[in-house]
Amino acid sequence: MNDLSRPQSVPYVPIHGIKIHSLSERECIEHIITAIGQGHSGWVHTINLDILRVLVKNAEYAELCKGTTLAVADGMPLIWASRLMGRPLPERIAGSDLVSTLSGAAAQAGFSVFLLGGNPGTAEKAGSVLQDHYPGLRIAGAYCPAFGFEDKPEIMEEIRQLVLNAAPDIVYVALGVPRQERIIGWLRPEFSRTWWMGVGISFSFITGDVPRAPRWMQKVGLEWVHRMIQEPRRLAWRYLVEDIPFVVQLLVKAAFGGKKTDSN
């Protein structure tokens, strides 16, 4: 087995030029828990199709994400692409699942988590739900900054002080792309052994405020349809106009050109 305490030892598959680490969910969790225990910080980036598209097409966002330690496949199209390349990734690692399973491992290891972002009150509620599911889980803090916080230095400093004082082992940042990546990149250098993960809408999934797609839709890669039905005005253009052409390009490239690219 790979030495999961060393990120450079983890094999990856290049999907559309982006390195996706070849890990199962269990191995990803083991990597993070081991690293925290050894006093190493890190940043796990869960990459779905939409995030992959932005990484490929938006140089500013790609630059924001250069500091990530682990990049895992949170999207079935990435799994399909890896199979077409002849280098199948072990499984999809959904960020919304990882929040729960990693929290369970943190509870067993005695590590703490901080929940930052989400809708008002959702971070606190999600923390309570996680504690109910995983007795012994330590919630170091939960905070939802006011809308427009990123343009208000006093709120940014408040966030910084809250997280510093809490000294968490893991921070879940639910602020959406790219704000969560900006916040992580800004805060992370001040923490020597903390792990970070952007989790998007996951707090609302945990609390049940936003129903998640049925498991069968998740397994066959149709979770995006469920999300689009929930928020058609916000998501229809993104999924139908931007993501569908991109997934066709992704799979064609994987089928006819992906096998030429090396991985470690």
Instruction: Report pTM.
Output: 0.92
pLDDT at 262: 47
The reply to whether 6 falls in a domain is no
**Is residue 75 in a domain?**
yes
SS (H, E, C) the chain: CCCCCCHHHCCEEEECCEEEECCCHHHHHHHHHHHHHCCCCEEEEEECHHHHHHHHHCHHHHHHHHHCCEEEECCHHHHHHHHHCCCCCCCCCCHHHHHHHHHHHHHHHCCEEEEEECCCCHHHHHHHHHHHHCCCCEEEEEECCCCCHHHCHHHHHHHHHHHHHHCCCEEEEECCCCHHHHHHHHHHHHCCCCEEEECCCHHHHHHCCCCCCCHHHHHCCCHHHHHHHHCHHHHHHHHHHHHHHHHHHHHHHHHHCHHHCCCC
Write down the pLDDT at residue 2.
37
Alpha-carbon torsion (236, 117, 62, 253), positive or negative: negative
Residue 95 located in a structural domain: yes
CA distance 121 to 83: 41
Within a domain: residue 8?
no
Q: Count CA atoms closer than 13 A to 168's CA, side-chain side.
A: 28
Query: What is the pLDDT confidence band of residue 80, given thresholds at 50, 70 and 90?
Result: very high
For residue 146, what pLDDT band results from cuts at 50, 70 and 90? confident
> Exposure pattern of 74-85 as b/e (b: 16+ CB <10 Å)?
bbbbbbbbbebb
What is the predicted pLDDT for the residue at 5? 40
Q: Which two tokens stand for residue 155?
A: 């709120």
What pLDDT shows up at residue 4? 40
Statement: residue 229 has pLDDT above 50: yes
Residue 114 falls inside a structural domain: yes
pLDDT band at 259 (very low <50, low <70, confident <90, very high): low
- Render pLDDT for 171-219 as a digit per residue (tens, 0 to 9): 999 999 999 999 999 999 999 999 999 999 999 999 999 999 999 999 8
Q: Kindly state whether residue 155 falls inside one of the protein's structural domains.
A: no
Q: Is the pLDDT of residue 264 over 60?
A: no
Mean of pLDDT over the chain? 93
Per-residue pLDDT, averaged over 137-160, amounts to: 93
- Specify if 4 maps to a domain: no
CA distance linking residue 247 with residue 75, whole number of Å: 11
Q: Which residue has the tokens 């509620």?
A: 125
Beta bridge mates, 142:
115
Range 152-174 average pLDDT: 96
In a domain, 158, yes or no: no
pLDDT band at 9 (very low <50, low <70, confident <90, very high): confident
241: containing domain = 18-146+166-257
Domain count, the chain: 1
Percent of the chain with pLDDT over 70: 94
Tell me, what's the pLDDT at 235? 94
pLDDT value at residue 19: 96
